[in-house]
Amino acid sequence: MKGEQEIQLEDSELNLKPTYERAPEIFEMIFREVGNAIVGQREMVRQILIAMLCEGHVLIESNPGLGKTLTISTISRIMDMKFSRIQCTPDLMPADITGTDIIEEGEKGSKRFQFKQGPVFANIVLADEINRASPKTQSALLEAMQENQVTIANSTYPLDKPFFIFATQNPIEMEGTYTLPEAQLDRFLMKILLTYPDPEEEFEIVNRYAEFSRPVVQKCIDKQTFLELQQITRRIPISNKLKRYAIDIVNRTRNMPELIEIGASPRASIALILCAKANAFLDRRRYVDKHDIDLMAHPILRHRLILSFDAARENVTGDTVINKILKDPSITDKIIELTSLHPGIKPGWRE
C-alpha cells in the first residue's frame, strides 16, 4: 500500500505551485463572470471548462436559442483568448476556414504568394451548425483538431496555444445537413446536451436581456495561467485500479453486440481519465475517485457509440446504454471490492 500521492508541481523548467494555490479562486471567478452573462446552464459551463483543462474540443447539441454561442464567446473574453466564429453552410469551402495563399503585389510591381490566415487561427473557434457544412469542409478541421496545425499546399502553419474548437449542431432540423463522420466525432473530447431553462431561469433571462443595458463580463485569467492549469490537470494522481475501472467501462462498449454495433476507441479511455482528473481538480481534490469517472462517462462516450439496429428500433439512446454499463456488476464489483477492503481510504487516493 502506497502513501498519499502528491501532485508534482515543480520541475526544472516550471513551478506550478503558485498557480495551483490560486486555482480555486480562479475557477470561482470564471464561474462568477460567466454567470453574469449566462443564466443557469452551470453544468454546461463546468463541462466546457473540464474540456478546456484537458485540451479537448467540444460538440454541443441543443435546440436553437439556449445560449451556446453566447457562452463560448463569454468564456473567450473572460480568459482573454482570441475568438472567431464560423457559420457553417453547404457552400462553405475549406479555404474559408483554414485560409489560403493570395497573390500580393510588391512596391516594384513584383508579385508573390502570401498566406492569408483563416478563422481557424484563433484560440477559441466556434463552428456554428457544423453539420450544415459539407463533408469536404468538415474534414478541413481534422488536422487542426488533432495536430494543432494547418497544412496549405506544401507549407504547415502551427496554431496558437491553447486551441479549442467548439462545434454546435441543431438536432431538430435534418434537411440540408451532413452527419459528422465517426473519425471526426471521435476527435471531440465530449458531447454536451442542453435542455431548456426552468421558468425561474427564463424569467431572469428576460430581465437581463429585455432591458436597455446588457450584462458585462471582466477578464479574470490570462492565456499563460490557463496553460499552467492544463499542466496541473494532467498531474492530478489517479490509482492504477481506477485506470482499470475506466478502461473496463470503455472495453464493455465493445462487447455489447445486442445494443452497440461499434464501441469506443482507446481515445475514449484517455479522455475519460483526463476528464476525471479535471473534475477532481474543479472539486478542489488532490485525487480522482470513482464518482469522477462515472460523472464523465456520459459526455465522453455518448457520441462514440454506434448503436445496433435493434437498439435504434427500440429508441434506445447512448445515455441509456452508458447507464446500463455503469450498473454492470462485472465492472462495479471490482471497484467496490477495493473500497470494502480498505474502508478508510478514498478510492483513487491510494494504490
pLDDT per residue over 252-295, tens digit each?
Answer: 999 888 888 888 899 999 999 999 999 999 998 888 989 999 99
Judge if 174 and 318 occupy the same domain: no
For residues 264 and 129, membership in a common domain is answered with no
pLDDT of 340: 41
**Cα dihedral 220, 86, 53, 288 sign:** positive
pLDDT above 70: percentage of residues in the chain: 89
Residue 85 dihedral angles phi and psi, to the nearest 5°: -125, 135
Let me know whether 151 and 214 are in one domain.
yes
How far is the C-alpha of 263 from the C-alpha of 271, rounded, in Å? Answer: 15
pTM for the full model? 0.86
Tens of pLDDT, residue by residue over 48-94, are 999 999 999 999 988 888 888 888 888 998 988 999 999 988 888 98
Q: Residue 28: inside a domain, yes or no?
A: yes
The burial class, CB within 10 Å (0-12 / 13-18 / 19+), for 285 is middle
Closest Cα partner for 124 from 169, 36, 57?
A: 57
**What pLDDT digit, counting tens, does each position of 96-138 carry?**
888 888 887 777 777 777 888 889 999 999 998 888 888 888 8
In this structure, is residue 128 part of a structural domain?
A: yes
The per-residue pLDDT of the chain, averaged, comes to: 84
**308 with 342, same domain?**
yes
Residue 1 located in a structural domain: no
Same domain, 335 and 218: no
Q: What is the CATH number of the domain that holds 296?
A: 1.10.8.80
